[in-house]
């Protein structure tokens, strides 16, 4: 029986980062992972493969739509689906092997198999029981199911099946106008599929800025994606490789049916904690299955901690990573901490959507006085040159103090631009601090500065 300071359960972004950080801080660490490769959902069937397909299909879109205008002509691009899948798989392989290398470098032992916790201080993997002073559960999440909808990962798929279809579908119904639905929907639309998104609410990407959501819908519609909003999916039925989706419009309760050769179920995810033995151990969970933790990620059982998608908060890889680092530091006797007020969210479509901090909706709800600085990419020279002028930057600042409270960007490289604002927020900056910072010309980031100027005396290029 091996004795460890820490055993981390799960090698996704939360778990592997936690294991590496703890090892760097001098702890003897093992990480249990049952998949054949490290990296969890994110690297194997989530963030990384979807970004590869988003990149490839964006290149295709550029070639089909913008090359001619820039004076590049000639051969019409053709999709070799097998090769595109191989490229995606190669990207996954490079990343998962990279973590294996980091484990070796940092002397983190990979315990291969699925873990259970028979009692505090013990982790069972296969027939072996390992002892650990502390245990961190980083077991992640799985797609949540929808009543009446049976996933077969061939015709009715989750994001996992959607990333590895045998061939690009001709007609796709996407259930859920959230992050997964719109990223995967974009991929299929760029490959030439007819894509229809059915969303329960009257808007897309709930929780994001409402103005961004509206602009986003308009731009995606221009890219050929259809939307049915305010519609609840009731059931799907598969016959001879075709699916019929039945949904009800909420405004008049009328029932409708649509046919598709692929249905993507993207209606959220739920914590994955199966087989860990939480109940037997006495670990408290919420009704939604999230493990209850305190500020230091401690569960109701001494010596057992939990982080990432398995606990409360946004289901984001980088939130899990930060919690992984924080709990490792806490276990090493340091003061690990995550600032939940500054966790960016990014949707990797084209254009990208990025947000951080408060929205106008949350500020109104809290009765806080705020001002809005907005700048359109139409006024940004670089965006114009790159066919990327659709969208805007919106900064929300405290009306009295000018302190930045949140930001919402739809536009080119929004997912990178947002970090300038994240750093500013971490340092408690005012909009004026951003506005007075020299920004290189011509860059997209000038739009961020202009939005900051718009919080004060006004932007220059609008």
| Contact flag: residue 348 with ligand NAI (CB under 6 A) | yes
Exposure letters 285-299 (e unless 16+ CB within 10 A, then b): beeeebbebeeebbb
| Contact flag: residue 269 with ligand NAI (CB under 6 A) | yes
Q: By the 8 A CB rule, do 296 and 330 touch?
A: yes
Position closest to ligand NAI via CB: 178
Could you check whether the bond before residue 29 is cis, i.e. omega within 30 degrees of 0?
Answer: no
Under rule CB under 6 A, which residues in 203-232 are in contact with ligand NAI? 206, 232
Q: Minimum CB separation from ligand NAI for residue 391, in Å?
A: 17
Q: Which is nearer to ligand NAI, 126 or 206 (CB)?
A: 206
Q: Which is nearer to ligand NAI, 134 or 159 (CB)?
A: 159
Q: Which is nearer to ligand NAI, 181 or 324 (CB)?
A: 181
337 is catalytic: no
Q: Which is nearer to ligand NAI, 183 or 450 (CB)?
A: 183
Backbone angles phi, psi at 63, to 5 degrees: -65, -40
Q: Minimum CB separation from ligand NAI for residue 231, in Å?
A: 6
Catalytic residue among 65, 256, 296, 441: 441
| Contact flag: residue 347 with ligand NAI (CB under 6 A) | yes
Q: Which two tokens stand for residue 334?
A: 């340091």
Under rule CB under 6 A, which residues in 230-259 are in contact with ligand NAI? 232-233
User: Where do runs of H (alpha helix) occur along 79-205?
Assistant: 81-106, 159-162, 179-190
Q: Which is nearer to ligand NAI, 132 or 213 (CB)?
A: 213
| Contact flag: residue 157 with ligand NAI (CB under 6 A) | no
Q: Minimum CB separation from ligand NAI for residue 455, in Å?
A: 27
Q: Minimum CB separation from ligand NAI for residue 230, in Å?
A: 9
Give the DSSP per-residue string, 55-87: HHHHHHHHHHHTTGGGT--SSPP---HHHHHHH
Q: Are strands 404-411 and 392-398 parallel, antiparallel or unpaired?
A: antiparallel
| Contact flag: residue 84 with ligand NAI (CB under 6 A) | no
| Contact flag: residue 319 with ligand NAI (CB under 6 A) | no
Give the DSSP per-residue string, 219-271: HHHHTT-EEEESEEEEEEEEETTEEEEEEEETTT--EEEEEESEEEE-S-EEE
Q: By the 8 A CB rule, do 354 and 414 touch?
A: yes
| Contact flag: residue 146 with ligand NAI (CB under 6 A) | yes
Q: Which two tokens stand for residue 291?
A: 């493990």
Q: Which is nearer to ligand NAI, 204 or 434 (CB)?
A: 204
Q: By the 8 A CB rule, do 342 and 426 touch?
A: yes
State the catalytic residues: 441
Residues that bind ligand NAI (CB under 6 A): 146, 175-181, 183, 198-201, 206, 232-233, 266-269, 315-316, 346-348
């Amino acid at each position: 029986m091996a004795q460890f300071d820490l055993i981390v359960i799960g090698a996704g972004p939360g778990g592997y980062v936690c294991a590496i950080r703890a090892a760097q801080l001098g702890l003897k660490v093992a990480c249990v992972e049952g998949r054949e490769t490290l990296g969890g959902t994110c690297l194997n069937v989530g963030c990384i493969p979807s970004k590869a397909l988003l990149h490839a299909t964006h290149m295709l879109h550029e070639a089909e739509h913008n090359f001619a205008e820039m004076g590049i002509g000639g051969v019409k691009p053709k999709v070799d689906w097998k090769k595109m899948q191989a490229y995606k798989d190669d990207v996954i392989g490079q990343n998962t092997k990279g973590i294996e290398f980091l484990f070796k470098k940092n002397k983190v032992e990979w315990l291969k198999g699925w873990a259970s916790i028979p009692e505090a201080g013990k982790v069972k993997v296969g027939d072996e029981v390992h002892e650990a002073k502390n245990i961190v559960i980083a077991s992640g999440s799985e797609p949540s199911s929808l009543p009446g909808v049976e996933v077969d990962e061939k015709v009715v798929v989750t994001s996992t099946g959607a990333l590895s279809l045998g061939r690009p579908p001709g007609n796709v119904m996407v259930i859920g106008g959230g992050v997964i639905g719109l990223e995967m929907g974009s991929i299929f639309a760029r490959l030439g599929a007819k894509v229809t998104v059915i969303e329960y609410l009257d808007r897309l990407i709930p929780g994001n800025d409402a103005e961004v959501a509206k602009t986003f819908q308009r731009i995606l519609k221009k890219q050929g994606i259809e939307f049915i909003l305010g519609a609840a999916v009731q059931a799907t039925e598969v016959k001879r490789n075709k699916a019929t989706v039945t949904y009800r419009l909420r405004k008049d309760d009328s029932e409708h049916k649509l046919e598709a050769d692929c249905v993507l179920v993207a209606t959220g995810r739920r914590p994955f904690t199966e087989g860990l033995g939480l109940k037997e151990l006495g670990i408290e969970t919420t009704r939604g299955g999230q493990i209850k933790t305190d500020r230091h990620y401690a569960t109701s059982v001494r010596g057992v901690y939990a982080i990432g998608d398995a606990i409360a908060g946004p289901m984001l890889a980088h939130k899990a990573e930060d919690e992984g680092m924080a709990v490792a530091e806490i276990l090493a006797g340091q003061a690990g901490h995550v600032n939940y007020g500054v966790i960016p969210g990014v949707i990797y479509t084209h254009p990208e959507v990025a947000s951080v901090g408060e929205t106008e909706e949350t500020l109104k709800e809290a009765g806080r006085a705020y001002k809005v600085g907005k700048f359109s990419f139409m006024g940004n020279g670089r965006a114009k040159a790159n066919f990327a002028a659709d969208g805007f930057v919106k900064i929300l600042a405290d009306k009295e103090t000018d302190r930045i409270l949140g930001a919402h960007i739809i536009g080119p490289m929004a997912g990178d631009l947002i970090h300038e604002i994240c750093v500013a927020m971490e340092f408690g900056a005012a909009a004026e601090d951003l506005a007075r910072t020299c920004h290189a010309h011509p860059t997209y980031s000038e739009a961020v500065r202009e939005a900051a100027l718009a919080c004060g005396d006004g932007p220059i290029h609008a």
